[in-house]
Amino acid sequence: MNHTDTLDVQVEMTPEMFTDNMGEIAQRQKALVDGLRSMLGLTAKVSLVAPKTIVRSEGKAVRVIDKRKI
């Protein structure tokens, strides 16, 4: 059984960068994965999502969602 934690990062695209060109999206995802690995030493699964699809919260922002089963 795999007992390692994973890091999933969702990045909301701006309307200007939103495209249906999958090659362009894949390039941006790879650049973000490489940047995180370079700066933080972490490998993350990066998903680019359409503009305005990440839920906004009232009050204090929820930026980290821990889904581990401890």
- pLDDT tens digits, one per residue of 26-37: 999 999 999 999
**Mean pLDDT confidence for 36-56:** 89
Give the length of the chain. Answer: 70
Query: What is the pTM assigned to this prediction?
Result: 0.73
Q: For residue 32, with 0-12 CB atoms within 10 Å meaning exposed, 13-18 middle and 19 or more buried, which class applies?
A: middle
Contact 54, 12 (CB under 8 A): yes
- Of 3.40.190.10, 3.30.590.10, 3.40.50.720, 3.30.300.30, the CATH number of 1-70 is 3.30.300.30
pLDDT over 70, % of the chain: 96
Q: Tell me the domain boundaries of the chain.
A: 1-70
Q: Which helix (H) or strand (E) holds 51?
A: none
Q: What is the pLDDT of residue 4?
A: 73
Maximal C-alpha separation, the chain? 42
Q: What is the pLDDT of residue 7?
A: 86
